[in-house]
Amino acid sequence: MIDDLEELVGCESFSADHAAVAKSAEVVAEVGTRRLGAAPERVTIRGVSHLRWTFGQPRVLLLGHHDTVWPVGTLRDMPWSCRDGVARGPGVFDMKAGLVQLFHALSGLPSLDGVSVLVVGDEELGSPTSQPLIEESARGLSAAFVLEASADGGALKLARKGISRYELLVHGRAAHAGLEPEKGANAGIELAHQIIAITRIAGNVSSSSRPGSLSVTPTLMSAGTSTNTIPALGRVAIDVRVPDVASQQRVDELMRALTPVLDGTRLELLGGPNRPPFDGTASAALFERAVEIAASLGMPPLTGVSVGGASDGNFTAGVGTPTLDGLGALGGGAHAPEEHVLVEHMPVRARLLTELVRSVLA
């Protein structure tokens, strides 16, 4: 398993670099073919490389991604290493160790009939090209197992918030800031008004959900082109996390109801809901099964948590497929220089997945 992990981590796969993702897909295909005894279907959508294995009539989907947040060249500063039971390198925890566990788990089954495996190449970007492929692959199945890294202490992920992503553009009118500022329409000031309005949206929706479970957060913002010019354009990105579909829809309505305050300015809203919420009802029965299997294998008691981050499990749960997430590696430091995996747990988690798949197929 460590050899396979080194092979995957050694091929960088920054999500925005389609050539790197395509090269990574070939390496993942080689590792998967060795372990599963069959080559994958290669699916390229708008330049992004995805892989799918299908055995018979699928009833169970195993889902992962091979892209990472790390630009090509990171490996020089964050090289692969495996010392004292800890593996390090870009993408080792999120989520190349999960892919290794997936392939080894399936290699322990006497038959793969009824199994489908999907490894996508743009999860870190919000799965813009792979979402339809994920939903198509998951719809109508008995279970989807997502190999994203575990939560703290190896906890499985039983629920995830939904995500909406927006960018608000404020169009104004440029003018010389010293000679004739009255002829301009300041997009920067209008942007400030809109940011304040956006921060109030969560309070107008949260009464219908758990307190503190919904957030509407302006993040990246900019306005203007020079210090002596009235800004003609301002923009702000907005990150939205919601606990349920009703909240997601209501936030969308309020975002689209934003209106300009200053004369001469105009608003343009881009984006919308990205991933639907994944609530605990989608995972409850599978988690109960996992707890029983873990106990039968002599593993420490499994725990489960709800998390704010989203994954492709949101899509599988969103089409009504029972979904269990966080079955991947134990470790930490996702998206950070201290990213690492505790390798002693990899075969244990692979065995858990083997038995989970076996039990669903049976």
Tens digit of each residue's pLDDT (9 = 90 or more) over 253-291? 999 999 999 999 999 999 999 999 998 999 999 999 999
Domain range 2-160+277-361, CATH class: alpha beta
* Cross-strand partners of 118: 52, 63
CA 16 to chain centre: 14
Confidence (pLDDT) at 207:
46
Span(s) in the chain for CATH 3.40.630.10: 2-160+277-361
3-state class percentages of the chain: helix first, strand second, coil last, to nearest 5: 40, 25, 35
Banded model confidence at residue 308, pLDDT cuts 50, 70, 90? confident
| Percent of the chain with pLDDT strictly greater than 70 | 98
Angle at alpha carbon of residue 137, lines to 132 and 142, rounded to 5°: 135
Q: Coil, strand, or helix at residue 361?
A: helix
Contact partners, residue 212, CB within 8 Å, separation at least 6: 206
CATH number of the domain at 162-275, please? Answer: 3.30.70.360
Which amino acid is it at 130?
A: S
Which tens digit of pLDDT belongs to each residue from 86-110?
999 999 999 999 999 999 999 999 9
CA 274 to chain centre: 10
Banded model confidence at residue 210, pLDDT cuts 50, 70, 90? low
pLDDT at position 206 over 90: no
Confidence (pLDDT) at 209:
47
Span(s) in the chain for CATH 3.30.70.360: 162-275
Banded model confidence at residue 208, pLDDT cuts 50, 70, 90? very low
Which tens digit of pLDDT belongs to each residue from 98-151?
999 999 999 999 999 999 999 999 999 999 999 999 999 999 999 999 999 999
Catalytic residue numbers read 67, 123
